[in-house]
Amino acid sequence: MEPKLYVGNLSYSVTEEELREYFAQAGTVKSVALIRDRDTGRSKGFAFVEYETDEEAQKAISMFNGTELHERTLTVNQARPREERPFGGGYRRDAGGGGRNQRSGGRRRSNW
């Protein structure tokens, strides 16, 4: 098991320091990454916590999954490897979508 955990359903008010202190109860926390919206800077409600060992990470899952922090029930499990995403964030210029003169599903009517 990789010693990196996903922590979900976080309150938007929780800080990285609070997470570090909370999760340190299970072992040595190597890093905490609270994920934020790049435009607003507001928390997205999830984070990644990395431990020194697999044993500490497993202990943290057992200790904290389903517990409450800031009146929110946490989801704590092993983080999945990051997936590669296509460049551009998913928007494709050639994805269709219809033009100005297309009405009712793209069919043209001569009596319009």
SS (H, E, C) the chain: CCCEEEEECCCCCCCHHHHHHHHHHHCCEEEEEEEECCCCCCEEEEEEEEECCHHHHHHHHHHHCCCEECCEECEEEECCCCCCCCCCCCCCCCCCCCCCCCECCCECCCCC
Is the predicted pLDDT of residue 108 greater than 80, yes or no?
no
Question: Per-residue pLDDT averaged across 90-108, rounded?
Answer: 55
Give 64-91 pLDDT, tens digit per residue: 999 999 999 999 999 998 888 776 655 5
Supply the pTM of this predicted model: 0.73
d(CA 50, CA 56): 9
The CATH number of the domain covering residues in 4-70: 3.30.70.330
Is the predicted pLDDT of residue 93 greater than 60, yes or no?
no
The per-residue pLDDT of the chain, averaged, comes to 86
Look at 33-42, 49-58, 71-80, 99-108 and tell me which has the smallest mean pLDDT: 99-108
